[in-house]
Amino acid sequence: MTEPSVFDEIVDFHNRANPWPLYDKLRTQPVWQEADGTFVVSTFREIYALFHDPRISSDAANLLPEFAHKAGPLSDGGGALPPSFIRTDAPRHDTLRRIAMRQFGPPHRPDRIDKLVPALEAIVTRLVDGLVGKDQCDLVDDVAYPFPVAVICELLGVPEEDEPRFSAWVDPIVNSAGQPTPESKEQAKEAFQQLGMYMFQLAQRRKADPGDDMLSGYVTDDGPDGQLEGGDLFATLILLLIAGHETTVNLIANGWLTLLRHPEALQRLRTEPDFSIRMVEELLRYEPSVHFVPNRIAVADIEIGGTTIRKGHPVVLVLASGNRDGECIPHADRFDPDRADNVHLAFGNGVHYCFGAPLARLEAQLALTQLAKRLQNPRLLADPPPYRPSPVLRGPIHLPVAYDGVLPA
């Protein structure tokens, strides 16, 4: 029997709570070739370089046939939809991304996020108010999950009463990320179909009766690149629905866990008005929501890190390892919100940089600040907490916390 590689150990669920010593081992070599032919990239400089290298593709069609099974659920639309735009290359990627961005931010909707602030604050306040009268809660179930779900549904125009339905669809898709099994891929495919049908029906309603939400914009706005239509529309909506909340759930949960482990930072968040900005930026580096990007493919041989990544082979960029690379980031294993020139890979880089980054930062700043200011004497009931199955989107599946009371907003 073949000995497991360092990356095999990282993917192993038993190491989910503390993968950091394994990342240290992984970085002893910038690029590793796994037994199955996958190339794993672990160091900051090499990851950054590949994000900007045109020889790295996001299109699963560039995989050699023997690696076709490694196309993740967002690569092939679960078999029911075309690939989402993050699984395409230029020029198709650039066109679809421009259309998607028209409804979200600059230059066409520069005030979209700013206008959301009062609604975001109201949602967080309502959720924290729900903790009153209790002496403990599950921070994931009670705040970290419902908050970003409510926000992305507000943005896309999903009715509030439909929000609870999404976890049944989203969880199978997320859980199949990384190393999908035939069973998990089938579950993801079924979830894609159900979610796609729901979004199709909602799009029809918004086309007949548009509002100020993103979905209404997508089905009515005729920009220079045209409209999102058919499978491209639904693949984009599903991507935004999933990416728009799953990563932020982890950011808030990982953030609260980190703050409770660093009480001096928690105290500063209560008393220093601007501390949340620096603190969240350090959280993104120190405890990123996305630990690695599994869906990249070399379209030519690439010499990097003392290794040749071969054409047609899958490439995994291990963002969490790069974020702790002491060769580029001083004292990388230290949680330091006062870190100067903070650099990280939490949102990727290059043409696929996460365009939802400003919203994710804002959501985490608002949620963690209100929790810090309102929960009295919060403390962990389980450390480490139980983690989600996915090695890609790493975060607690539950975060039980005790507290002595909840202060008024």
Give the model's pLDDT for residue 365. 98
Q: What's the CA gap between 151 and 159, in Å, rounded?
A: 11
Give the model's pLDDT for residue 80. 59
| Position 166 confidence tier, pLDDT thresholds 50, 70, 90 | confident
Give the model's pLDDT for residue 379. 98
Decide if pLDDT at 1 tops 70: no
Instruction: Quote the distance between the C-alpha of residue 221 and its chain's center.
Output: 27
| Torsion angle, alpha carbons of 144, 290, 242, 118, to 10 | 40
Task: Name the packing angle between helices 182-208 and 166-175 (round to 10°).
Answer: 140
Decide if pLDDT at 21 tops 90: yes
Q: What's the CA gap between 36 and 73, in Å, rounded?
A: 19
Q: What's the CA gap between 69 and 82, in Å, rounded?
A: 16
- The region of weakest confidence among 210-214, 235-239, 288-292, 367-371 is 235-239
Beta strands in 211-333 (DSSP E): 293-298, 302-304, 307-309, 314-317
Tens of pLDDT along 191-215?
Answer: 888 888 888 899 999 999 999 999 9
Decide if pLDDT at 273 tops 90: no
Give the model's pLDDT for residue 75. 46
| Torsion angle, alpha carbons of 49, 31, 248, 384, to 10 | -150
Tens of pLDDT along 293-350?
Answer: 998 999 999 999 999 999 999 999 999 999 999 999 999 999 999 999 899 999 999 9
Tens of pLDDT along 102-122?
Answer: 998 888 888 988 999 999 999
| Position 255 confidence tier, pLDDT thresholds 50, 70, 90 | very high
Give the model's pLDDT for residue 177. 65
> Hey, is 295 helix, strand or coil?
strand
Give the model's pLDDT for residue 47. 98
- β-sheet bridge partners, residue 401: 137, 380
Of 250, 243, 241, 240, give the one whose Cα is nearest residue 368.
Answer: 250
The per-residue pLDDT of the chain, averaged, comes to: 92
- β-sheet bridge partners, residue 290: 393
Cα–Cα distances in Å, from 11 out to 4, 16, 179, 391, 392?
10, 8, 8, 6, 8
The CA-CA-CA angle for residues 70, 71, 77, to 5°, reads 150
Residue found under tokens 């709570």:
17
Decide if pLDDT at 181 tops 90: no
CB 331 within 8 A of CB 59: no
> Hey, is 137 helix, strand or coil?
strand
Give the model's pLDDT for residue 26. 98
Q: What's the CA gap between 345 and 286, in Å, rounded?
A: 10
Residue found under tokens 């209790």:
134
Comparison of pLDDT for 238 and 402, the residue scoring more = 402
Any idea what DSSP says for residue 93? H
The amino acid sitting at 205 is R
> Hey, is 315 helix, strand or coil?
strand
Give the model's pLDDT for residue 74. 52
Q: What percent of the chain has pLDDT over 70?
A: 96
Of 79, 97, 100, give the one whose Cα is nearest residue 89.
Answer: 97
Comparison of pLDDT for 394 and 1, the residue scoring more = 394
Q: What's the CA gap between 86 and 49, in Å, rounded?
A: 18
Q: What is the mean pLDDT of residues 170-174?
A: 78
Decide if pLDDT at 96 tops 60: yes
Residue 141 has a CB neighbour count (10 Å cut-off) of 13
Cα–Cα distances in Å, from 171 out to 246, 287, 352, 393?
9, 21, 23, 11
Give the model's pLDDT for residue 337. 98
Residue 346 has a CB neighbour count (10 Å cut-off) of 25
Tens of pLDDT along 52-80?
Answer: 999 999 999 999 999 987 776 554 445 55
* Structure tokens, 26: 């992984």
* Structure tokens, 15: 């190491």
Q: 230 exposed, middle or buried (CB, 10 Å; 0-12, 13-18, 19+)?
A: exposed
